[in-house]
Structure 1
Amino acid sequence: MTVKETPLTLTTQAGHTLSARQFSVSASQQAIVIAPAMGVEQSYYFPVARWLAEQGFEVLTFDYHGMGASQQGPLKHHRSSILDWARQDASAALAHIRQQIAGDILWLGHSLGGQVFPLVNDIQQVQRVVTVASGTGYWRHNAPPLRRKVWWFWFVLVPVLVRIYGYFPGKKLGMVGDLPAPVIQQWKRWCMHPEYCVGTEDAAVRQSFDTVNVPICALALEDDEMLSDKNISALFALFGSKDKSLHVVHPDDFGLDRIGHLGLFRAQFEDTLWPQVLLPALTSGQPQNTR
């Protein structure tokens, strides 16, 4: 089965151009938008996007402004914030797929992409949101391995490197990825507060979370090296939807040694986690073998 891949250029309401890619096998009445994690380029999701297209979905991936193929010019000149990524970039992706597909649209948000979906324009028009490894990021609740070093990260490494480079050079350090200065600075503010963005931004952000009313299936990874169950449950509680469920994926239930924060989308899980967890989460909200 040959998957057709179409490179696209999307334009946000602010006039920024974004790199995107659409995956399809044949005319479909269902679509999935994959919203990436912080610092993760859309190419990371190409294997799962191809697989989902083979299952009969139209699939759209994209890079946030300043990330991956959506970076135009030096990153130190990019002024987009995380709120811009949600309200402008993710909204442009959803608007595009709504023009293409008359049927059901599903939102698949990884980490950040599953944190900020209530801020996306017209998110109420999607049939289901599936979040993967999405939590508040509140530093005192981070998983123990990360919590032991996160204070140094936020209060020493980030301010020093942003001052030197004009952006956060995460690729040089092998952590998070390169990020525009407004993004890493806003993210720091969020991670300092137990209610994350809801506790630090204006009342409109809280209202967006309180009033979001789409079915939500949240997938947490038991061996997530970044987020603890407190991070996950705290974010889950912020979603106002009455139709929501939280499922924990344990590696040993699938005969696996490890999954981790980024792992669910790796091609090695095409025959296990994708058909048993991801696909049923998207189609019915009921992933298999979860607790």
Structure 2
Amino acid sequence: MTPSLAQSAQADAHQNALEVRKRDIRFEADDGFPLAGTLFEGDGQKPLILISSATAVPRGFYAAFATAAVKADARGVLIYDYRGTGDSIRPRSWSKRIGMADWALHDMPAAAKTLDAIAPGHPMVGVGQSYGGQALGLSGISDRFARYGMVAVMSGYHRGLDDRWAGPRMFLLGVPLSLLFRDMPKWMRLGEPIPATVFRDWARWCSMPDYFFDDPDLEETARFTKVHTPILSLRMTDDPWGTERAVVSLMKHYDHAPILRRWISPKDAGSPIGHLGFFRSRFAETLWPPFLAWLLDGTEFTAGSPPTQ
């Protein structure tokens, strides 16, 4: 056995032997909303990882990746549900409007604070899929992250997508339905139910050419220019929503952050990926290792190819 193979075998054995401790937790946002999360811990000393999910995607979707991250020596990983979604259930006594911006302005900072408490001051990195990458700029806590990995993070402006039915489905069906229900029905196939008020915010932003940057009431968009965190932006070439123009339209607002952009194709991954597929366990041996190496160690990410524009 050559030295490189021996080292690889030892690394695999070490990873398989690592114990991953998993527990569900409850914590509160700064405005008192109760949130649900799952904390994964091990004995590694590499950075903590906060994972912020895509819209209408429950935290459990990221559990396999979180486990792999701890086995790659992450100190701990937190996945969580935004308010009004998953297990972050709206209390009966809650009378305030739930807005989509609340996920970034209140929930993400609360999750980061909760994760920080298990190892105060320990290095932390972040992962954001779709909305979870948009949230970094709005949150005001970007300086807490040593690096931030963004997967399928793009502007939601409907004319920037390759899904021609996205606009009609959202505006002609979704918005009227949102006036009838407190939470969007699951049969709409948006994913898990989200508050109807969140859906209307989302639809309004998706009708604007520059997405929520055109919303005069969302002053926190000014925070994007203050982000200096190194970012890895991954786009899947078979993603009908995360088109090149949609990704470029959003990422241009992180204008003071060093950004590495890589486009990942089904050929690179070994199978179709789409908008949400990156975190499915079938990519544990192909896409996850270089992504985790960049997150945890700052190792150069060379998978895929650079963008064409």
Mark yes or no: TM-score above 0.5.
Answer: yes
The one-character-per-residue Cα deviations of 1:121-141 (angstroms, maximum 9, x if unpaired) are 422121011110010011111
Offset at residue 78 of structure 1 (A):
7.5
**Take 1:226 and 1:70, find their aligned partners in 2: how far apart are those partners?**
26
Identity in percent: 27
2:302 maps to: 288
1:281/1:235 CA distance change after superposition, 3 Å? farther
RMSD, aligned α-carbons? 1.9
Offset at residue 151 of structure 1 (A):
2.5
* Preserved contact between residue 216 and residue 241 of structure 1 (Cα < 8 Å): no
The one-character-per-residue Cα deviations of 1:119-177 (angstroms, maximum 9, x if unpaired) are 2242212101111001001111102xx1x2123112211122112223321x2132233
**Take 1:209 and 1:193, find their aligned partners in 2: how far apart are those partners?**
18
1:34 maps to: 51
**Take 1:60 and 1:203, find their aligned partners in 2: how far apart are those partners?**
27
Letter in 2 for 1:243: P
* Secondary structure class of the residue paired with 1:100: coil
* Preserved contact between residue 280 and residue 288 of structure 1 (Cα < 8 Å): no
* Preserved contact between residue 198 and residue 205 of structure 1 (Cα < 8 Å): no
Letter in 1 for 2:302: Q
Write out the 4+ residue segments of structure 1 that deviate beyond 4 Å after TM superposition. none
Offset at residue 202 of structure 1 (A):
3.6
- Of residues 172, 188, 193, the one that matches 2:187 is 172
The one-character-per-residue Cα deviations of 1:231-264 (angstroms, maximum 9, x if unpaired) are 001111011324112111112124x230111111
* Preserved contact between residue 236 and residue 264 of structure 2 (Cα < 8 Å): yes
* Secondary structure class of the residue paired with 1:238: coil
**Take 1:68 and 1:23, find their aligned partners in 2: how far apart are those partners?**
18
* Preserved contact between residue 215 and residue 241 of structure 1 (Cα < 8 Å): no
**Take 2:96 and 2:219, find their aligned partners in 1: how far apart are those partners?**
24
- Decide which structure has greater strand share: 1
- Decide which structure has greater helix share: 1
* Secondary structure class of the residue paired with 2:240: coil
* Preserved contact between residue 137 and residue 221 of structure 2 (Cα < 8 Å): no
**Take 1:27 and 1:252, find their aligned partners in 2: how far apart are those partners?**
33
**Take 1:242 and 1:271, find their aligned partners in 2: how far apart are those partners?**
29
- Of residues 64, 78, 85, the one that matches 1:60 is 78
Radius of gyration: which is bigger?
A: 2
* Preserved contact between residue 151 and residue 234 of structure 2 (Cα < 8 Å): yes
Offset at residue 280 of structure 1 (A):
3.0
- Of residues 177, 191, 195, the one that matches 1:161 is 177
The one-character-per-residue Cα deviations of 1:38-81 (angstroms, maximum 9, x if unpaired) are 0000001001000101111110110001111111458x977311
2:129 maps to: 110
1:272/1:153 CA distance change after superposition, 3 Å? same
1:129 maps to: 148
Unaligned runs of at least 5 residues, structure 1: none
* Preserved contact between residue 151 and residue 233 of structure 2 (Cα < 8 Å): yes
